[in-house]
A and B are shown apart, each in its own frame.
Chain A
Amino acid sequence: DTEVTQTPKHLVMGMTNKKSLKCEQHMGHRAMYWYKQKAKKPPELMFVYSYEKLSINESVPSRFSPECPNSSLLNLHLHALQPEDSALYLCASSRGGTGRGNEQFFGPGTRLTVL
C-alpha cells in the first residue's frame, strides 16, 4: 500500500465549530506532516511528527491542534477557525525521520472552507 489517505475530502465549518481532519498511511513511514496550501501557492509546513513525537511546530495558532495516536494515523483538530484558514490541508509521510533525502508522499488533501 503506497497511499496516504485523508478524510474528509471537503469540509465546511462555521467559526464556532470543532472538527477534525484525519490522515492514514500504511507504508511504515515514521514521519508525518501537516501542510496548508492556498491556491497556486507552495505548501506551508504546519507540523511534523517524527516517531510519533511532535518535532516541528511552525508557530501555528492554537486553534489548530495536531495529534498522532500511532505511527499510521495523524489527526488535525480544528476549533474556532477564521475565514482566512480556508485552504487545502495536505497530509504527507516519509520513510524514517524528517531528515536526509526521504521524499514525502502526499494525500489528496481536505478542502476546508470556514464560513
Chain B
Amino acid sequence: DGGITQSPKYLFRKEGQNVTLSCEQNLNHDAMYWYRQDPGQGLRLIYYSQIVNDFQKGDIAEGYSVSREKKESFPLTVTSAQKNPTAFYLCASRNEVIKRDTEAFFGQGTRLTVV
C-alpha cells in the first residue's frame, strides 16, 4: 500500500543525546515536511523539502537538522541543542503539481519524550 511511514512510534531520549526520526514515503511525492505538535497548539513547521538535495528551514528549525538524499526519505535529527524536544512529530509529503495545489498526506507520528 502507498503511504508515509514514520518510525519509531515512541522514542525516549536522554538529556544531551541526538536522536533521528525516520520518515519514508512510497507515493513518489516531491515535497516532504516535518511538523512539531504540542498539546493545545497547531502544527509548527520545522523543515521542508521540495526536491532531493534541497531543503528549507521552517518556523522552528533551531535544534533540528534534516537531509534529503533520496526522494523517498526525509529523516529528522533532534539535536542536543533543542531545549524542549518532548513533542509529537509529524512527517508529511505532497505531490507538486504546477497548475493546482495538492493536499499533504501525513504519517502516524512519532512521540518523542526526554527522560
Partners in one complex: no
Residue numbers of B with Cβ under 8 A of A are: none
Interface residues of A, Cβ cutoff 8 Å to B: none
